[in-house]
A and B are shown apart, each in its own frame.
Chain A
């Protein structure tokens, strides 16, 4: 039996939780390897060997070591195509193209404003860093514009890429969870009919509930 894959980093990290959600969806056994970020472990030579940018997560599977959460998710879906949720990253080229489009939209349009807000609203207070009101305002505006586009898309589509829950939807879970639970931004999602419906559905998945539990216990 093959050794479980290894994920390096704390579940509280949005990027780490993206990978954990994917592993749960695909029913792939994994071992979580702690990285003590408070002590700067992620910037030390041993860690930089596996992730040269000094960020979490990093990932190992047999002899392969990779990083960047969305690359890790794609790898997991490709390697374990027959396991767990087979629709997550369809092998059908036309369906996959749509998944990639919305995964890139998440990466390029949703992630920048939502990440900035997650840092300002959820993490800065814990780190005794003063919140930047201008930055919050700017990114709130950007986020709402993106949500308007999502609401229009989700009017005619159950999930972003089509009728099935895919990697494109999954990729939104980590940042949105913080925005809604700690960042006081729930209304931005619930006030948009289709976005609200979509968020309720994707955040209720067993895979995400397991990740949230892991975040609570670390």
Chain B
């Protein structure tokens, strides 16, 4: 039985899982969830994710939600397939740290900026300049720390590409299409890291899925 991902190709969380599956060259079935129609809040979807959020994931009898739990499952259980997305032993400790940094320091700020600069206009709502300014200031501090980190390490977690980097890709894809791009461009190590990870074929495959929708 093939793995299933329930979600929307435009959801950053669903993208996180799709990128991981492509990195590992794993076969899966993508089951679109019509969020505009509120499908994610209906009974049959709540059975997969009681929080009513995408993505939801199935591998045989195993059902999972929370994109970062799903990517970790995929990375560990299919460790020998495709790109290694975690490390063994000591470097994994640091990979774990930067996975949490993405979740707690980068994502909350990046999400607010994406909401203001990307999603609101899709829904005919006006951008709140004050919120943008506040979150750009927060992002600047985070990116300064990333710049220092990437001066000591080729990728965030260790010397290879791991989930710590991958988890940033959906947010980066959105933000690099907005004026926030200049904040990444202004920091040489960050800029090089962004260019490197966004050039990965797995991301291109997921973006191609978007263009087909």
- Which residues of A come within 8 Å of B, CB atoms? 52-53, 64, 66-68, 70-71, 74-75, 78, 93-94, 96-98, 100-101, 103-105, 107-109, 112, 149, 152-153
Contacts and interface: CB of A to CB of B under 8 A. Distances in A.
A95 to B, nearest CB: 11
Interface stretch (B21-29, B61-69, B185-193): B61-69
Contacts of A94: 62
Contacts of B67: 104
A87 B46 CA distance: 28
B77 interface: yes
Interface of B: 50-51, 62, 64-69, 72-73, 76-77, 90, 92-94, 96-97, 99-101, 103-105, 108, 145, 148-149
A157 to B, nearest CB: 12
A24 to B, nearest CB: 20
B23 to A, nearest CB: 18
Contacts of A109: 51
B62 A108 contact: no
B72 A100 contact: yes
Contacts of A74: 96
Given A66-B97, A70-B100, A75-B93, A101 B64 contact: yes
B90 A104 contact: no
Contacts of A108: 66, 103
Contact of A152 (B50, B69, B77): B50
Given A52-B148, A93-B73, A101-B64, A67 B105 contact: no
A203 B213 CA distance: 48
Contacts of B72: 97, 100
Contact of B96 (A52, A75, A93): A75
A103 B50 contact: no
B81 to A, nearest CB: 14
A64 B50 contact: no
Given A64-B90, A149-B51, A152-B50, A101 B66 contact: yes
A149 B100 contact: no
Contacts of A71: 93, 96-97, 99-100
Contacts of A75: 93, 96
